[in-house]
Amino acid sequence: MPSRAIRGHPVARLEDVRATVNAGASAAVRRLNGFEPGHERGAVAEQRHAHAAVIVAFAFTPLGGVWFAQVAALQPALVSLAVVGLVLAVPLPGLSTFQSWYQGAVVHGRRTRAITESMVVYVVVIAAVLAIGVVTQRFAGLPVAIAAMVLGNIAQVVYLRLQAHSAIRAIQAAA
């Protein structure tokens, strides 16, 4: 029988669904030989809205409480913590979708070093936010960790956007 710590796993299952779909989006962007920016932007927007709708439904309706209390069988204190975590995670689908878009542009432009550099930016921001959370100890660990992920993703996407800008302009100029 799994330990009590593993009972939080259904929270991770929701994230796994989102991550799987985004991995598919990243692969689709890489497969585009012609890299058609107009077409892909529509697909990116649809995917971002679909992912956000699922997280918003769980975060801002009773559906999240039912999922965590009944399906995941979390204790009441953990249910409210999990719902707060989902509220903080609302931006993640959109950020991940843009990350896939910009990574595809960077790969298409053959500047893949920017992807590694963006991961360094991501890790540094997460480490800084987690360190601040540990030092201040003003909030529970889950909200701090999710805030760190969101801020790390924002920094990564901004960095990738800056790196992909020239590749995207070159693609648009060739079209």
Give residue-wise pLDDT tens across range 39-67: 555 666 676 677 778 888 888 888 888 88
Structurally, the chain folds into a number of domains equal to 1
Which among 95, 96, 125, 111 is positioned nearest to 164, based on CA atoms?
A: 111
Listed in order, strand segments (DSSP E) in 23-167 are none
Tokens in use for 75?
Answer: 């204790």
Q: pTM (2 decimals)?
A: 0.71
For residue range 98-116, what is the model confidence (pLDDT) as tens digits? 888 899 888 888 888 999 9
Note down the domain range covering 45.
Answer: 4-174
